[in-house]
Amino acid sequence: MAEIPQPPPALPGFASFEAAMDQALAEARSAQSRGEVPVGALLVSDKGVVLAAAHNAPIGASDPTAHAEILAIRRACAAAGNYRLVGAVLVVTLEPCLMCLGAIVQARLAGVVFGAADPKSGALSSCLDGPALPFLNHRFWTVGGVKAEACGALLSDFFRNRRSAAGEEPPCPLDAGRIDRY
């Protein structure tokens, strides 16, 4: 089994991982303004060029696969005219799920930078160590927790407001800090 590569100290074209995450957060806010779960993603080439940006859109697109990561990968592949994005890095506000892990592997991304961990369905470290699965034919690095507080707060606020609008009781204080997804 091939070793998982080490991440670079920063992304080309950005002063820091946090600077790239700021752009993904802007995409997440765009999703929120449309009533979608606020997750945003950015795909950056190995030269520091933003290849694509996207936000969650499964409700508006009537497409359960319209996660921010999938949409960003689709757009970048279409722009590149190639289904492989070798050397590109995904920056996303929430740890990718199992479906998105598959797309990351198939696109041959070099790495993933994510904000908030997803204890319910995170497939990079929280629920599954996806990059280390022995049967995968591609390895990529990950950096988690980048602007995690801001990314997590956006999600928590979204779900708190949604529950409040639906007249649901607030969650138990013992559940504080968990991120409700879907």
Catalytic residues: 69
CB 30 within 8 A of CB 42: no
The count of other CB atoms within 10 Å of the CB of residue 138 is: 15
- Residue partners of 77: CB distance under 8 A and separation at least 6: 83, 84, 85, 107
- DSSP labels, 71-94: HHHHHHHHHHTSS--TT-EEEEEE
C-alpha 145/C-alpha 21 separation (Å) is 10
**Helix/strand/coil for 70:** helix
C-alpha 181/C-alpha 119 separation (Å) is 9
